[in-house]
Chains A and B, each alone.
Chain A
C-alpha cells in the first residue's frame, strides 16, 4: 500500500521547478489519495543536478557524471546501432523508405514521437526539458520560434548541409533551430463557385470587407489553430498594428465564420471540398495540388486556387534538444533532414516546400502549387513579444 517509488537513478532535476512545501504536497496527495506517489517530496530537491553536456559545460555547474551517462557518452562517439528519438507534431510525415535510407546509411534507427499539435509539442518539450523524451524536436514554426529560443531549448548545430539551404530561412542567430520546411498559409477559393457566380476572385485582403463578399469566408481561430494564427499575423503585417483590428471588425460585420480547427473550416464550411457553402477559406498554398493528388481520377486543373496576396510564410524548424541522450545520432538526423532525399519527400507527405534549394519539386506541385514571391512575414521575435496580445485583441474584437 505504501510502496514508495524510489527516486530512480537520480534523474537530473532542476531544483527550483520541483521544490514544494511538504504540507501542500501532503494536502494535495490526501485530496486525491495518492498514497503511492507521495514518497519523494522533500528528498529530491537536494539533487540539484543538470545533465552534462559536452558542448555547453557551463550550463551544468553541478555536473555529476553517472555511469549510465558515461555509457551514453560512449555511444555518442559512435552512434551506429543507437536509436534517435524525434519529437514532433501530429502532422509530421515522411516516406518510410526515406527513413530507412537514413538507417542504412548511418546505422541509426529513428523513433518518431508525435506530441499533439505544434504548440502542444513545443510546450511539452519545454516542460520536460529536465528529462527530455527525445533527442530532437521538429515542428516549431516561426510563430512560436521565439518561445523555443527564449527557453534555450536547442543546442547549436553547424550542419554541413546548411550551405544548400536558402538563407532567408535562417532565423536563429545561435544556429540551434534549423529550418526544414516552408509553406504559406493562404486564402483558398473555390474556382467553380466564382466562375458560376461571375464574381471576381478577391485580389487583396481589403476586398474581403466589400459587401459583395459578404458571408463567403471561413477562417480559423488563431487561439486554437496554427493556420488561424498565421492568417491573423498576415493581417497584422498587411494592415499594421494599428489597422488590423479595424480590418477584423469589418470582416466580422461582413459575416466571417470562425471555426476552431482547420479541418472543420476546410471540410465543413468550404464549398471547394463539397462540405460547406463558403467559397473562401484559410488553408495552405499547397492545398490545391493536394486536391489534385488525392482526387480520383485526377483533374487537369485544381478545383481550388490560392489568393497570393493573403499568404503568410510558415517556416518549420528542427533543433537538437539540450540534454539529448543520443546527441550524435540527432546531429546525423538533422543533417539528413536538410539533405536532398528528405527534402524532396516533403511536398507529397507533409504538403510543404523544401528549404534545400537543390531539392526538386514533384510534378503536381510544379503544376498546381503557388509560391508567392513576397509573402507576408513578421520577425519571430516580434511575434514572440506580441503573439498573446494580438490573439487576445482579436478574440475581443471578433468573438465577444
Chain B
C-alpha cells in the first residue's frame, strides 16, 4: 500500500509573544484564587499556628519537640494515617464499581440513586453517625436476621466503637466523592476506545485495565486524594463511631484548642497534619502529571447502556445491593426515626417541626432554616465555581510549576482542621475589615471546602479537551474568551454542573465553618438540627430527625435537578 506520509507541517508562529501572552493570561486567571486562598485560608491558619508556636513572640522549638516526641501524639498520628489509607482503599474498592454502574449503565431509578448516594456526604456527621450506629448495634436488622436464621444461638454482631465501624462509615460518607468525580469522567469517556480494545482481542478485564483505567487515572487519583484528606482529618465519625478511645490528629487538635486551650500542642498537631497533607498532595500531583492525556470526550447520555450479558447484570445487582445496604439504609433509619411518636408511627414530629413557633432565640422555624441554607448554599456554590473555574482554567492552560502549586494549594483546606481555620478566622480576620461576624464569611468558608471539588472535577475534563480544537477556533479568529465560551464551555458544562452539585451539597450540609462564623439570627438547617439534638425530650429528637430528613430530601432534589439539566451537547463539534 502506498499511502505516502505527508511531510509534517511546520508551523512556527511568534512563539515568544504567544508564551508571554499565555503567561499573562495565567497570572490573570490565578489572581483571584490566590487572593481568596491567601486571605481566607493561608493568613488565618498562619496566624493561629504562629500564636501557638510562639506564645511569647519568639518561636519556641521546645514546643515542637515536646509534642513530636510524645508517644501519645505518635500513636494518634499513626492511627490517623493507617485508618485514612485503609479507608481510602476500601472506599475506592467499593465505590469504583458503583461509579461504573451509575455512570455507564442505564436502568430505572439511576438518576435518583445518583442523587441519593450524595446525601450522606451532605448530612451532618452527628445525625447520620447516629443512624449508622443503629445499624451496627445489637438491635440492628442484621442481628435480627441472624436470630431469625439461627435462633437464640445466633452470635450478636456489635460493631459500635470499633475501627470497622469507622472504616464502614468512611466508605459510606465518601462513596459519593468517588462516584461523582470518577463517574463524571467515566460517563464521558469514548466507549469506542474500550470497544476497539475488545475487537482487537482484549478480554473485558484487559480492556478495562489497559484502556479505561489509565484514562480514568486522573479522576481516580483526584478522588483518592480527596477521600484521603477527608478521612485523614476525620472528626465526627471517629468521635461517634470510634468511641472515645480513638482519636485522629483532627480530634486532638479540636480537644487541645477548644477544651484545653493548649495552643502550642494544637499548633504542632496542625503543622504535623499540614506536612502529611502536603506530602500526600505531592504524591497525588506526581500521579496525575504522569497520567494526564488529552482525549476526546463524548456526551454522557450517549455512553449509558442498558446492561446486557450475565456479567453486566451481576455487576448492576451487586452495586444496587451495596448502595442499598451501605448508603440508603442509614437514610431509611433517619426517615423511620422521624416518624416515631409516642404511639407508633405518625407525622407528629413533622407537624411540630413545621408549625411549632416557640419564639425563642434558639428555636428555628423550619422555613427560615431552609431559606438560610439555600441562600448560603447558592452563594458558596457561586464563589466556589468562580474561584475553581479560574484556577482550573489556569492549570489547564499552563502546566507550569505555579499553576500546579495553586492547584494543590487549593486542596490543602480539605486537609486542614476546621477548628484551626475557624480559630484562625477569629484572630486574623478582624483587619482590614472585621469579617468575623459577617454573614459573608459563611459562604466564603464553605467555598474554601467546595473549591477543590470544582477544580478536581473540571481539571481532568479541561485537560482532556483536544488542544487542537482550541487552536482551530483561535485560527478562525475567535479571541481567547470566545474560544473558551464556544469550545470549552459546552464540553465543560456537564462537569461544571457536577461541580456545582457537589459544591451546593457541601455548602448546604456544612457545619464546621458555620459554627465559627454564623450569627444566631441566620441559622442553617444543620445548625437547627444541632440545636434540636442538644436538648432533652424525645420530641426534640424526633424533630431533629425530621429536619435531617428534610435536609436529605432538599439536597437530593437539588442534585437531581442539577443532574437532569443539560448544557449543550457535549462531544459534538
Contacts and interface: CB of A to CB of B under 8 A. Distances in A.
Given A28-B50, A34-B38, A113-B437, A258 B244 contact: yes
A398 B341 CA distance: 36
B245 interface: yes
Interface string B232-243: 000000011001
Nearest to A25: B46
Contacts of A273: 538, 541
Contacts, number: 236
A115 interface: yes
A90 B431 contact: no
Contact of B54 (A20, A113, A133): A20
A261 B130 CA distance: 11
B56 interface: yes
A124 B57 contact: no
B426 A128 contact: yes
B204 interface: no
Contacts of B541: 267, 273, 275
A33 B536 contact: no
B363 interface: yes
Given A28-B50, A113-B437, A34 B258 contact: no
Contacts of B244: 221, 223-224, 258-260, 399
B536 A287 contact: yes
A34 B46 contact: yes
Contact of A119 (B259, B426, B520, B533): B259
A20 B57 CA distance: 6
A284 B42 CA distance: 42
Contacts of A386: none
A101 interface: no
Contact of B534 (A28, A31, A91, A113): A91
A99 B55 CA distance: 40
Interface string B41-65: 1110110011100111101000000
Contact of B245 (A20, A128, A400): A400
Contacts of A25: 46, 50
Nearest to B27: A1
B31 interface: yes
B34 A116 contact: no
A399 B426 CA distance: 33
Contacts of B255: 223-224
A35 B130 contact: no
A5 B534 contact: no
A273 B340 CA distance: 12
Contacts of B359: 95-97
A74 interface: no
A15 interface: yes
B436 interface: yes
Interface in B104-150: 126, 129-130, 133-134, 138-139
Contacts of B139: 277
B531 A90 contact: yes
B211 interface: no
Contacts of B516: 115-116, 124
B537 A32 contact: no
Nearest to B30: A1
Interface string B336-368: 000011100000100010000001111100000
B11 interface: no
A33 B126 contact: no
Given A36-B35, A90-B531, A29 B46 contact: yes
Interface residues of A, number: 88
Interface in A232-265: 257-264
A337 to B, nearest CB: 13
Nearest to A263: B533
Contacts of A223: 244, 255, 259
Among B49, B51, B360: residue with most chain A CB under 10 A: B360
Interface residues of B, number: 82
B423 to A, nearest CB: 6
A90 B430 contact: no
Interface string A115-129: 111011001101110
A263 B427 CA distance: 30
A91 B530 CA distance: 9
Interface in A333-384: 349, 351
Contacts of B90: none
A266 interface: yes
B519 interface: yes
Contacts of B342: 295-297
Given A16-B57, A127-B423, A33 B535 contact: no
Contacts of A96: 359-361
Given A133-B426, A388-B260, A34 B56 contact: no
Contact of B515 (A6, A95, A116, A267): A116
A268 B134 contact: yes
Interface stretch (B322-330, B404-412, B482-490): B404-412
B257 interface: yes
Contacts of B362: 91-93, 349
B321 interface: no
Contacts of B261: 123, 126, 147
A205 B425 CA distance: 44
A37 B39 contact: yes
A90 B56 contact: no
**Lowest 9 A-B CB distances belong to which pairs?**
A294-B537, A37-B43, A34-B42, A32-B42, A34-B38, A93-B362, A36-B38, A8-B431, A294-B539
Interface of A: 1, 3, 5-8, 11, 15-21, 24-25, 28-29, 31-38, 40, 85, 90-97, 99, 111-117, 119-120, 123-124, 126-128, 131, 133, 147, 221, 223-224, 257-264, 266-268, 273-275, 277, 283-284, 286-287, 290-291, 293-297, 349, 351, 388, 399-400
21 contacts: A3-B35, A5-B432, A20-B57, A24-B59, A32-B41, A36-B34, A37-B39, A90-B534, A92-B362, A112-B361, A114-B518, A120-B258, A131-B434, A259-B243, A273-B541, A274-B340, A274-B538, A277-B139, A284-B536, A291-B538, A294-B540
